Amino acid sequence: MKIQEITLYVNGIQYEFSIGNKFGQIPPGETLSQTLRNRLGLTGSKEACGEGACGCCTVIMEGDAITSCMTLTVDCDGKHILTIEGLADPETGELSPLQQAFIDRYAFQCGFCTPGIIMTSKALLDKNPHSTEEEIKEALSGNFCRCISQYHVVQAVSDVAGKAGA
């Protein structure tokens, strides 16, 4: 069946899109990363490798961390998506405990891969609030960080896992 329209719920906001190749429509080949970044202005997640290897484009869909550069928007009909922009309290602007832990532990250098790392960690902690260090490292094994902030990231995520409630 040819899909004509889709609905996405991104950070709690409902978006309806028309699928097609006309101006303004979402072509069937458009990735979720492109839709989030170019259409919705959610540039927090980054697109770097375009083939699911670096994890910079990670967002959470229906509770799972996914690489949005490897996900076609047309396949996301009805899905709930959370991006890095949706973590802070929408009313007060207060950062989530995980975001605050990344600041407290200096868990980033250039910060390009940080949104993806935070989203992967968030998905892990939502499922497994008391993740061990080994589980944290395993979950993040698809997130590339070349400045080498890994040691501090593991501390930051472990801090939150110790307290629970990402």
| Span between the terminal Cα atoms of the chain, in Å | 40
Nearer to another protein, 92 or 141 (CB): 141
Q: By the 8 A CB rule, do 86 and 63 touch?
A: no
CB of 33 to another protein, least distance (A): 11
Determine if 11 is a binding residue for another protein (CB under 8 A): no
DSSP string covering 5-54, please? EEEEEETTEEEEEEBSSSTTSBPTT-BHHHIIIIIS---SS--SSSSSSS
Cα–Cα distance between 48 and 55 in angstroms, integer?
Answer: 9
Q: Which one among 68, 81, 149, 166 touches another protein, defined by CB under 8 A? A: 149
Q: Which one among 8, 47, 67, 82 touches another protein, defined by CB under 8 A? A: 47
Determine if 76 is a binding residue for another protein (CB under 8 A): no
- What residues line the site for another protein (CB under 8 A)? 37, 42-51, 53-54, 56, 83-85, 87-88, 95, 99-100, 102-106, 108-115, 118, 134, 137-138, 140-153
